[in-house]
Amino acid sequence: MTQARFDELIHPITRLSLVATLAAADWAEFAFLKDRLQLSDSALSKQLTTLEEAGYVTTERRLSGGRRKVRARLTSAGRDAFNGHIAALQAVVADAAAPSEGPPA
């Protein structure tokens, strides 16, 4: 079972969307991520670098059809962090939805 653990690094919405996209895929090309997440080259590069430095993402540069392509994938540490973060967010929502316990008045 996934342990709920809030992750400050993943939480910003752009980074969360990026990690959630990578969590649903085995890998994704830089161009796909840029297009679907509507980020500029520099913004996406910055996010990927941050995640890569944390050990959450690996990137691989490939030559395909004469063009250099960057492929990103989530590491197992990144996947664990993402699952833990989602579990933590779900816990916050569940706590808020649960009726407050206390002695009857």
Q: Scan residues 78-97 and list those touching other proteins (CB under 8 A).
A: 86, 88-90, 92-93, 95-97
Report whether 69 contacts 29 (CB < 8 A): yes
Q: What is the DSSP string of 72-94?
A: EEE-HHHHHHHHHHHHHHHHHHH
Report whether 51 contacts 15 (CB < 8 A): yes
Closer to other proteins at the Cβ: 76 or 104? 76
Which of 6, 38, 53, 55 touches other proteins by CB under 8 A?
A: 6
Site for other proteins contains 9 (CB under 8 A) = no
Which of 13, 61, 67, 99 touches other proteins by CB under 8 A?
A: 13
Residue 17 neighbours by CB distance under 10 Å: 16
* Amino acid found at 80: D
Q: Compute the distance between CA of residue 4 and CA of residue 44 in angstroms, rounded to an integer.
A: 27
Closer to other proteins at the Cβ: 65 or 103? 65
Q: Which residues bind other proteins (CB under 8 A)?
A: 6, 11, 13, 16-18, 20-21, 23-29, 31-32, 35-37, 64, 86, 88-90, 92-93, 95-97
